[in-house]
Amino acid sequence: MEAKLAMRKQLFATSVARQVGIHVEDPSLAMIKERSDYTEMIKNVENKAENMTQADLNSNLEIVSYRGKMSETERELHSLHLYANHYLAAYIEYSTELRAVGPIDPGQPGRFQALRQTEIVRSSRFLTHTLRSLESFFDDQSIDMRWTGSIARNAPFVSDQISAYKIWRKNLMPNLSAQYLAAFYFWHIPMPYSAWTILNMTSGATIVAPQITLNRLFRVNGLAPKGSFLSAVGYGIPYSWVTFLGMFPMLLYSKDMGLLFSDYIREPLTGVLSAISIKEWVAAAGGAGLIGAVFGRAVQNRSRTAFTQGIEVFKKTFNGPASEVSGGISCNMILGR
């Protein structure tokens, strides 16, 4: 009974794997071809998938409660789906991340894996490396069964653009603020802020995404970008070319962006700042900082008394001489207007 269940699990997992583009070869045939590393990887994948499935079935209270409402047939089908999900995740982990098999092994997942498993391609390293290079344009680690996963596996560069967008979105504001100040004052890069903005607004699609694709190209061919001096040079030359497009938006549109900054940001902002004296700015900043400290202390202590006392201190500070002084060194002098 257990042997039949294990067989059903394997057949179901391999059939699901084909739906996401992973073509699992028969381990017995691989053993005949003296591919011991592949058969060992399959054993590890099966063991990890089984252990993860049993952990879910026995330890996950939500799954245990959910399965209690199922019939025997439904529970078996649910177990098959759980096993298949863990099988796919383990296969990707062992093949692409842990590299249990070589980078050009037919067991490596990829858009043209089925073609790489034919005898004609197996016998030619040139054809194998050619197909592996073409596979670098597609996501070879996606096991998503939805249409989004299908697009990532079958549409070139789409997955890399999405990954680059997530990185760009997370780093955009730091790059436009602290990073620019560090580049300008610490590294002495005299780049206009308008050009810097254009560069960072377009860097996700034109610099980060090509870099992700290039990294995959080296990985699927078994090349380490920084494994040695020669590999670093070999990586740096194509890197400079694939990311060179990121310079064109900055060169073409930095002047237009500078005019927009001047008309809609710099002129109105300096007009407002020039009417406010430095002492008033110091008083306002000090008051804001004191407010934050008072409210933080009140929340921390949960004491109404501390809150009331803090408000009184703030009133005295805000109504003190600093807020009543006008004139002084104005922002006009600092901005040179």
Q: For residue 276, what pLDDT is reported?
A: 66
The number of helices, as runs of H, and strands, as runs of E, in the chain is: 20, 0
Mean pLDDT by 10 residues, the chain (337 residues): 79 93 83 80 94 88 85 88 94 93 93 93 94 95 91 94 93 88 86 84 91 93 83 88 84 78 71 65 64 60 54 48 38 36
Look at residue 47 in the predicted model and tell me its pLDDT: 94
Tell me the CB-side half-sphere exposure of residue 176, using CA atoms within 13 A: 14
What pLDDT score was predicted for residue 291? Answer: 67
Q: Is 136 helix (H, G, I), strand (E, B) or coil?
A: coil
User: Model-level pTM greater than 0.75?
Assistant: no
pLDDT at 164: 94
The pLDDT, as a whole number, for residue 302 is 52
Question: Within its chain, how far is the Cα of 172 from the centroid?
Answer: 14
- CB-based contact 109:220 (threshold 8 Å): no
Which of these, 20, 18, 92, 19, lies nearest to 49 by C-alpha position?
92
